Amino acid sequence: MSLLVLSANDVENISSSLSPSELQYLMARVFALFSSGSNNQVATPHRTSIPTSNHNGTTIKVVSVPKCKDDTRGLPGSTLVLDEDTGAVKAIVNARNLTALRNAAGSLLSTNLVGLRTPQRLVAFGAGKQIEAHIDLHIRYFPTLRSCTIINRSINQRVESLRDLLQSRFPHISFTFLARSDSISAEKSVRAADLIICATSSTSPLFLSSWVDADLVMRAICTNAIPRRQDLNARISRALIVDSRKDCEIEAGELISANVQGHQVVEIGELAPMKDGEVVEDVLNAPPPSVVLDDAEAAHTFDGPVTMFKSVGIGLQDVAIACAVVYKAQTHIAVGTRISEYDST
């Protein structure tokens, strides 16, 4: 699908071709719909203003959510990145894959902060872009990972494509692909896992909490509607980390169904290493061990039998990842298409 970009001069030329009659009719339809009082016909949220001086960037992200629950095409999204001085748009970024990347980056951070330092066995539920990004980042970061099991609703074309991509990208990793109907193999894989990643739209539990080992690290994301859930049952309120207390209370179906309250969780931002009000980058950039440590050395100090990070995604993640991509494109990698006279000012 192509993208049409209209500059200020383009818009001026088109505007002059619109007749007074066309414009009157257009506005008449708008105002008639607005005054009809039918909530089913129009949606016009009140305009709002958001101060962004401390956001390290200003962006606007537009995402379309498919109406059909069986639509597997993903979420088409675009992000406008604004110039901090003028407020003008300086870049438009295809955000379809950036959502997966920012979610995976948050999950990797949580693993690094409170998970095992030398995981060897990774299990992932799902086969979409979210899982691809999560597996990619975790394998690239943790040299001790040796095996990865992907469990999907079925072994379909999406799974086959993911298999080809991962095996070519990481030939040193032993990959196994299972259908969820193979419950015996799925249970065996979950019980042996050091790290489990759940990124599905499933409305039913993916596995039983009794399969989960006491030292497990879990990442549960992509649960955007209240009925959706990844099963943790009684273990869900132990050692639970979230990206946003407020948003998870509204959107995280598995936490809502388990009656988890805000005071029972820790926001991941509260665990970030800080000094003088800034994140200590050196701590996060320290490479993990390249060899497997014994249990005593590998254990982190976070108190809890199962460490779980639940992410519904926050807007500042979108700001950060889009601005980082645009910065790279402007300073390090000569990519993208530039329209020099997009704005007339």
Least confident among 7-16, 132-141, 166-175: 7-16
Q: Kindly tell me if the per-residue pLDDT of 29 is higher than 60.
A: yes
> What is the pTM (predicted TM-score) of this model?
0.83
How high is the pLDDT of residue 222? 45
Could you say which DSSP state residue 289 is in?
Answer: P
Question: Taking a C-beta distance cutoff of 8 angstroms, is the pair 164, 177 a contact?
Answer: no
Mean local confidence (pLDDT), 185-211: 88
Q: Kindly tell me if the per-residue pLDDT of 88 is higher than 90.
A: no
What whole-number distance in Å separates Cα of residue 227 and Cα of residue 274?
36
Q: Edge-to-edge strands of the sheet including 121-125?
A: 174-179, 147-152, 121-125, 195-199, 217-221, 307-311, 240-242, 266-267
Taking CA atoms, 199 is separated from 79, 257, 334, in Å, by 22, 18, 33
Q: Kindly tell me if the per-residue pLDDT of 158 is higher than 50.
A: yes
Least confident among 21-35, 193-207, 223-237: 223-237
Mean local confidence (pLDDT), 159-186: 96
- Rounded to the nearest integer, the mean pLDDT of the chain is 82
Q: Kindly tell me if the per-residue pLDDT of 229 is higher than 90.
A: no
Q: Kindly tell me if the per-residue pLDDT of 301 is higher than 50.
A: no
Least confident among 3-12, 101-110, 143-152, 283-292: 283-292
How high is the pLDDT of residue 149? 98
Strand runs labelled E in the chain = 58-63, 77-82, 89-94, 121-125, 147-152, 174-179, 195-199, 217-221, 240-242, 266-267, 274-275, 278-279, 307-311
Q: Kindly tell me if the per-residue pLDDT of 162 is higher than 90.
A: yes
How high is the pLDDT of residue 228? 41
Residue-wise pLDDT for 40-51, tens only, equals 677 777 888 877
* Higher-confidence position of 150 and 282: 150
Beta bridge partners of 309: 219, 241
How high is the pLDDT of residue 213? 67
Residue-wise pLDDT for 90-100, tens only, equals 999 999 889 89
Q: Kindly tell me if the per-residue pLDDT of 69 is higher than 90.
A: no
* Higher-confidence position of 316 and 235: 316
Instruction: Report CA dihedral (260, 117, 165, 314) to the nearest 10 degrees.
Output: 40
How high is the pLDDT of residue 345? 63
At residue 86 the predicted structure's pLDDT band, cuts being 50, 70 and 90, is confident
How high is the pLDDT of residue 278? 82
Q: Kindly tell me if the per-residue pLDDT of 197 is higher than 90.
A: yes
Beta bridge partners of 174: 147
Residue-wise pLDDT for 258-286, tens only, equals 788 888 888 999 888 888 888 887 767 77
How high is the pLDDT of residue 233? 46
Q: Which of the given ranges, 16-25, 107-116, 131-140, 215-224, has the highest pLDDT on average?
A: 131-140
How high is the pLDDT of residue 334? 77
How high is the pLDDT of residue 36? 81
Mean local confidence (pLDDT), 132-154: 95
Mean local confidence (pLDDT), 177-204: 91
| 3-class SS of residue 275 | strand
At residue 114 the predicted structure's pLDDT band, cuts being 50, 70 and 90, is confident
Strand runs labelled E in 235-321 = 240-242, 266-267, 274-275, 278-279, 307-311
Question: What is the residue-wise DSSP string for 122-174?
Answer: EEEE--SHHHHHHHHHHHHH-TT--EEEEEESS--HHHHHHHHHHHHH-TTSE
